[in-house]
């Protein structure tokens, strides 16, 4: 084994000392945390799935951490305004993002983003997976996917579908539906599921590909008609509704995940503490029951698993965005 010179030994010990000191500071900081309320940023308007999940997980985190978790909406630009706000927030463990699959899509859709989703935000843990559902206003004369496609082909560019904003999962699912169905429709972006659902119920738009959560009560009440699930397996919340794959669009499989992220430099002990609580919470019987009622499937993975998921989705959606020719300046 090569022997170190005196100067090399001193440098090595200095580096070790600095690293140890940093760990001590992080450890002490984490022990004192949280000492004040925590903000959980929702990048959409209130009332949508992201908001519902943020409030559900936030309520349980408040109990576990002993400080209020305040859910704040910062909607706009396909969820990128809220992500940018968190990415540039102080990494002190008091600001988190309720992120979603939309952010992995925005990376390819928006030509210029003021942040890098994979570098500027640290994954904490995925809370739930929620299938999307193709729903139409009952006034639309289409009882199934085949009839809808026939109607769209007879009126190219006239049938409208709403989404949570340009570059979101709903937007891309709609674009994929157009591509695979050989139809052309008119995309109408909103700032969240709340205003989107209101216009869908009022007949201002014909359909949407939203997550199940905000439209489920209206489907059950007969105010909206569910035609198909966008993932490759049926939803336990709507077991009688076929998948788009079953309805003829073979291979169609797009859904939405939701999870918590923090500014990139947030101390690791804090990230690990919040992850530990998320995993515990999503396995609580009452939380599982609540998720089942809104059509969500609890997840609770590690930060590393979530980071892998984000990387894979970013690469997958980059191809879909290119094929669908979706781009925003």
pLDDT digits (tens, 9 = 90+) for 46-86: 888 999 999 999 999 999 999 999 999 999 888 999 999 99
- CB of 69 within 8 A of CB of 277? no
The pLDDT of residue 96: 98
Cis peptide bond N-terminal to 34, omega within 30: yes
Q: Is the pTM of this model over 0.85?
A: no
Q: Pick the closest to residue 80 from 95, 96, 102 (CA basis).
A: 102
Report, as an integer, the average pLDDT of 104-113: 89
Question: Structural domains in the chain?
Answer: 30-130+257-324 (3.40.190.150), 133-229 (3.40.190.10)
Residue of higher predicted confidence among 11 and 172 = 172
- Tell me how far apart the alpha carbons of residues 123 and 71 are, in angstroms, rounded to a whole number: 18
6 has a pLDDT exceeding 80: no
- Tell me how far apart the alpha carbons of residues 241 and 73 are, in angstroms, rounded to a whole number: 32
How large a percentage of the chain has pLDDT more than 70? Answer: 90
The pLDDT of residue 223: 97
Sorted by sequence, the CB contacts under 8 Å of residue 65 that are 6+ apart come out as: 34, 38, 277
3 has a pLDDT exceeding 70: no
125 has a pLDDT exceeding 70: yes
Annotate 6-41 with DSSP letters as a single string. HHHHHHHHHHHHHHHHHHHHHHHHHHH--SS-EEEE
- pLDDT bin (cut points 50, 70, 90) of residue 21 is very low
- CB of 78 within 8 A of CB of 164? yes
The pLDDT of residue 77: 87
Residue of higher predicted confidence among 92 and 329 = 92
Residue of higher predicted confidence among 327 and 173 = 173
Tokens 């909206």 appear where? 224
Q: Pick the closest to residue 301 from 259, 250, 243, 247 (CA basis).
A: 259
329 has a pLDDT exceeding 80: no
| Mean pLDDT across the chain | 90
The pLDDT of residue 193: 87
- Mind listing the pLDDT tens digit for each residue in 203-223? 999 999 999 999 999 999 999
Q: Which region among 73-82, 134-143, 276-285 has the lowest average model confidence (pLDDT)?
A: 73-82
How large a percentage of the chain has pLDDT more than 90? Answer: 75
- pLDDT bin (cut points 50, 70, 90) of residue 22 is very low
327 has a pLDDT exceeding 80: no
- pLDDT bin (cut points 50, 70, 90) of residue 326 is confident
Q: In what order do the strands lie in the sheet with 95-100?
A: 69-73, 38-42, 95-100, 255-263, 121-131, 297-298
Report, as an integer, the average pLDDT of 120-130: 97
172 has a pLDDT exceeding 70: yes
- Tell me how far apart the alpha carbons of residues 274 and 97 are, in angstroms, rounded to a whole number: 12
The pLDDT of residue 144: 97
The pLDDT of residue 25: 47
Instruction: Tell me phi and psi for residue 83, to 5 degrees.
Output: -65, -40
């Amino acid at each position: 084994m090569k022997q170190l010179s005196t100067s090399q030994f001193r440098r090595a010990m200095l580096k070790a000392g600095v690293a140890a000191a940093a760990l001590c500071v992080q450890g002490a900081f984490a022990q004192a945390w949280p000492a004040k309320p925590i903000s959980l940023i929702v990048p959409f308007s209130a009332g949508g799935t992201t908001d519902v999940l943020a409030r559900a997980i936030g309520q349980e985190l408040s109990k576990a951490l002993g400080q209020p978790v305040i859910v704040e909406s910062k909607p706009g630009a396909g969820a990128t305004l809220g992500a940018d706000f968190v990415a540039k927030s102080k990494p002190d463990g008091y600001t988190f993002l309720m992120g979603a699959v939309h952010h992995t899509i925005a990376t390819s859709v928006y030509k210029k983003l003021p942040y890098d989703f994979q570098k500027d935000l640290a994954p904490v843990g995925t809370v739930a997976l929620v299938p999307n559902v193709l729903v139409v206003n009952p006034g639309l004369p289409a009882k199934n996917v085949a009839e809808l496609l026939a109607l769209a082909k007879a009126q190219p560019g006239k049938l409208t579908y709403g989404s949570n904003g340009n570059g979101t999962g709903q937007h891309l699912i709609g674009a994929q539906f157009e591509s695979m169905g050989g139809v052309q429709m008119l995309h109408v972006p909103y700032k969240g599921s709340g205003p989107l659902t209101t216009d869908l119920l009022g007949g201002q738009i014909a359909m949407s590909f939203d997550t199940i959560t905000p439209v489920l009560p209206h489907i059950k009440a007969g105010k909206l008609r569910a035609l198909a699930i966008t993932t490759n397996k049926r939803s336990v919340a709507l077991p009688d509704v076929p998948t788009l794959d079953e309805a003829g669009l073979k291979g169609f499989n797009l859904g939405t995940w939701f999870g918590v992220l923090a500014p990139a430099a947030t101390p690791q002990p804090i990230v690990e503490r919040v992850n530990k609580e998320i995993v515990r919470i999503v396995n609580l019987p009452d939380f599982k029951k609540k998720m089942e009622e809104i059509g969500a499937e609890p997840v609770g993975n590690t930060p590393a698993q979530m980071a892998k998921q984000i990387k894979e989705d970013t690469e997958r959606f980059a191809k879909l965005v290119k094929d669908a020719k979706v781009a925003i300046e």
